[in-house]
Structure 1
Amino acid sequence: MLFFLITSFTFITLLYKSLAFKLVPTWASEFRLQLLFRLWKDLSLLTLVRKNLFSLIPLRMLAMRSKPGGCSKADDHVETTVSQMSVLDLPDLVLECILEKVPPEGLCHLASVCSSLRERCMSDHLWERHLKQKWGGIIGPAAYREWQWHIALRKDSRLFNQAKEKGLGSYLSRLWPLSVIVGPNLGAGDKRNNLPPIDSVMFWYLALESGKFWFPAQVYNRENGHVGFMLSCYDAELSYDPRTDTFHARYPPHGRMAVAIETGVTWDRLRAPLVDNPAHDLHISDCLYDLRPGDHIEIQWRRNKKFPYGWWYGVVGHLETCDGNQHYCRCHECDTVVLEFNQYSPGSRWRRTTVSRKDHREEGNEAEGFYGGIQKVESREVISTWKRLWPAQVLE
């Protein structure tokens, strides 16, 4: 046990010294302390050592650290050897554990140290974690297809040779140290080879952060919560604004109307589509026979057949012949399903509608709009979002 404790202390000493290597830029001193703190907190072995470490360290080792002027030649040799150690001398598993704790900006900076760290810091498995953590809630299959189509068109092109990619290149240069683009520490070669591959997860993350990549998602209460869209969710193309940490939303055109663009859309109004269904296509309902009074649902609705669908929140209600007593209710056995939208006043024409379980398709007219497919909502997170967005006043 004493051997492991001493080894752990030696490992920290080597790591501390290795991060002071000449190739590491000036920001490394702050980053070094952060790494040591995270490693001290996360590794279970160091957690056991924390209380009793200094009582177990040999006095000679402590003296070597506390009396730099009185060290022997042997001690000077040890110090010289330690100072020549590199962070790359750490075991692969330890180095991977450290890199997993580094934020995206830190990985970008570390990639400028040398080619070995650049390769490690660009690995997909590190960036998949960051992509899921920040973007997972609004990135769905449609966004992934859009990205695949995007990179397929650019695989034969060079990022810095295209004027239309200039904005992304400018963003990369802000996150990316100049040394990793020009490459003085990485050897001679084309500076574009030092950038992440265009089909890598890292490049996708940086493209999302730059705001130059528009991707499909859905927006709650579009057009800044306009009363005509309360408790609805519409498809849109999104672009991130890194300066304000908000989004630009570009909605599909309504008939002959121009494309509507909304700015300042916050994260809490966004989501990935619950079903992979184009905005103008009818969703095929596969939950109708499972619906019971009290269930939460979303139903497609559009003003006319030239408009795209939006998803509107409602609940399954009771038939007029049912008193709502759960012991005697047989509404779930009836072919007719009652849908209620309680955000509207009891006398509103939008308050209540019915659909057929057997042959439900798009139903409606030009006066009241057209109801489309239905999806049952079982996610507590989605239901909680709808309740959070509930209007302060009853709609007419």
Structure 2
Amino acid sequence: MIEGMSVLDLPNLALECILERLEPSGLCKMACVCTYLRDMCLSDHLWESHMKRRWGRVIGHAAYKEWQLHISTKKESNYFLAGDKGRGLFMGYLSKLWPVMLIYNDGHDDSKKMKISSQPSIDSVVSCYRALETGKFWFPAQVFNRENGHVGFMLSCYDADLSYDSHTDTFQARYPPHGRRAAAIETGVSWDRIRGPPVDTSPNDLHISDCLNDLRPRDHIEIQWRRNKQFPYGWWYGVVGHLEACDGNNIYCHCHESDTVVLEFNQYTPGSRWRHTMINRRYHREEGNEADGFYGGIKKLYHKDEISVATILAC
């Protein structure tokens, strides 16, 4: 850079290209320089990419709706100026951004001169990012549950509210009450066990299946399941199997023409009563009993990333 030249002397396009390559901590450092850089570094379009890369896989539509409800009850001054002792270097920089004081203003356009800065809007992207990183925002998501029990491996996914713990890079999961059991909290939940809810259906409601006519052997599916009528639904991973009368030969297979659909849950050991079930393609709603549980709505897995997560956990 030319001697005596400041980063503020760069054209806006060049400056934006530099800022787009900075990590969150770098953006926060730059935002401490002056008001002009603060406004650029905290702009939504820069933080949207960081939000997507960091949180995109675990934050879904339900979480964004919850965030809007969350911020509507917060006062900006109390929320953003609250201390985050022990939250790490990044949070330390972020907590110092408001207000930003004059440190350099000579020789630049009036538009780039410094003044005391106001804090960013609570509904900005950086505000949401900060709330997630500090664990202040409990967001709805789903947690994969893999237990090695007497019936074998159980692969399922349950709704929970989650809060991030930056010290351990894991989450706390707060599960809703199940039957007469009080709400439970699980700690140490790793990133690979979390996903955003793939459908908007509440865990207490039956998901309306829109894929029943398309189901064929070897298709990957998830189905709602609950232990009894007082429990919320979880999601079980499974595959569509062949009817008993079919030899599995794809050329002569007519299973997709039958009203009966075989669902296989191969994470359970052979002989387990949860190893497979059958549903009626035309009339399926909720089926089951108090002994085996109740099977609800079905969604077909079309995307490779959905299938790969489930199959890896089931191995």
TM-score (norm 1): 0.72
Give a deviation string over 1:247-284, Cα, whole Å, max 9, x none: 00011110121111110111111111111211111000
User: Which protein, 1 or 2, shows the higher relative CO under an 8 Å CA cutoff with sep ≥ 6?
Assistant: 2
Q: Could you tell me which residue of structure 2 aligns to residue 159 of structure 1?
A: 77
Aligned pairs for 1:46-57 (under 5 A) are none
Note if contact 1:112-1:177 (Cα within 8 Å) is conserved in structure 2: no
Q: Could you tell me which residue of structure 2 aligns to residue 122 of structure 1?
A: 42
Q: Distance in 1 between matches of 2:95 and 2:212?
A: 55
Q: Could you tell me which residue of structure 2 aligns to residue 183 of structure 1?
A: 100
Note if contact 1:296-1:315 (Cα within 8 Å) is conserved in structure 2: yes
1:86 aligns with 2:32: no
Q: Distance in 2 between matches of 1:343 and 1:230?
A: 6
Q: Match for 1:176: what amino acid?
A: L
Q: Could you tell me which residue of structure 2 aligns to residue 148 of structure 1?
A: 68
Q: Could you tell me which residue of structure 2 aligns to residue 4 of structure 1?
A: none
Q: Could you tell me which residue of structure 1 aligns to residue 313 of structure 2?
A: 389
Q: Distance in 1 between matches of 2:101 and 2:301?
A: 55
Note if contact 1:143-1:215 (Cα within 8 Å) is conserved in structure 2: yes
Q: Could you tell me which residue of structure 1 aligns to residue 26 of structure 2?
A: 106
2:244 to 311, 315, 320: 320
1:207 aligns with 2:131: yes
Q: CA deviation at 1:195?
A: 2.7
Q: CA deviation at 1:183?
A: 3.1
Q: Distance in 1 between matches of 2:184 and 2:95?
A: 38
Range 140-149 or range 321-330, more displaced:
321-330
Q: Distance in 2 between matches of 1:338 and 1:326?
A: 16
Q: CA deviation at 1:173?
A: 5.7
- Number of matched pairs: 301
Q: CA deviation at 1:86?
A: 2.2
Q: CA deviation at 1:378?
A: 1.7
Q: Distance in 1 between matches of 2:262 and 2:124?
A: 48
Q: Distance in 1 between matches of 2:258 and 2:81?
A: 58
Note if contact 2:241-2:263 (Cα within 8 Å) is conserved in structure 1: yes
Q: Could you tell me which residue of structure 1 aligns to residue 109 of structure 2?
A: none
Note if contact 2:76-2:122 (Cα within 8 Å) is conserved in structure 1: no
Give a deviation string over 1:297-342, Cα, whole Å, max 9, x none: 1000000111111100111011111111111110000111110111
Judged with a 3 Å threshold, the aligned counterparts in structure 2 of structure 1 residues 177 and 376 are, in CA distance, closer, same or farther, namely closer
Q: CA deviation at 1:196?
A: 2.2
Note if contact 1:167-1:212 (Cα within 8 Å) is conserved in structure 2: no
Q: Distance in 2 between matches of 1:173 and 1:100?
A: 19
Q: CA deviation at 1:97?
A: 0.3
Note if contact 2:35-2:100 (Cα within 8 Å) is conserved in structure 1: no
Larger radius of gyration: 1
1:291 aligns with 2:208: no
Runs of 4+ aligned residues of structure 1 deviating over 4 Å after TM superposition are: 167-173, 186-189
Aligned pairs for 1:351-366 (under 5 A) are 351-366=275-290
Q: If each structure's helix is expressed as a fraction of its own residues, which one has the higher value?
A: 1
Note if contact 1:293-1:332 (Cα within 8 Å) is conserved in structure 2: yes
Q: Could you tell me which residue of structure 2 aligns to residue 244 of structure 1?
A: 168
Structure 1 residues not aligned, in runs of 5+: 1-12, 15-81, 392-396
Q: Distance in 2 between matches of 1:138 and 1:177?
A: 25
- Measured on the aligned residues, the alpha-carbon RMSD in Å equals 2.1
Note if contact 2:148-2:154 (Cα within 8 Å) is conserved in structure 1: yes
Q: If each structure's strand is expressed as a fraction of its own residues, which one has the higher value?
A: 2
TM-score (norm 2): 0.90
Q: CA deviation at 1:168?
A: 5.3
Aligned pairs for 1:246-325 (under 5 A) are 246-325=170-249
Match of 2:82, SS state, is helix
Note if contact 2:99-2:119 (Cα within 8 Å) is conserved in structure 1: no
Give a deviation string over 1:23-47, Cα, whole Å, max 9, x none: xxxxxxxxxxxxxxxxxxxxxxxxx
Q: Match for 2:205: what amino acid?
A: D
Judged with a 3 Å threshold, the aligned counterparts in structure 2 of structure 1 residues 165 and 260 are, in CA distance, closer, same or farther, namely farther
Note if contact 1:168-1:207 (Cα within 8 Å) is conserved in structure 2: no
Judged with a 3 Å threshold, the aligned counterparts in structure 2 of structure 1 residues 169 and 204 are, in CA distance, closer, same or farther, namely farther
Judged with a 3 Å threshold, the aligned counterparts in structure 2 of structure 1 residues 167 and 285 are, in CA distance, closer, same or farther, namely farther
Q: Match for 2:144: what amino acid?
A: Y
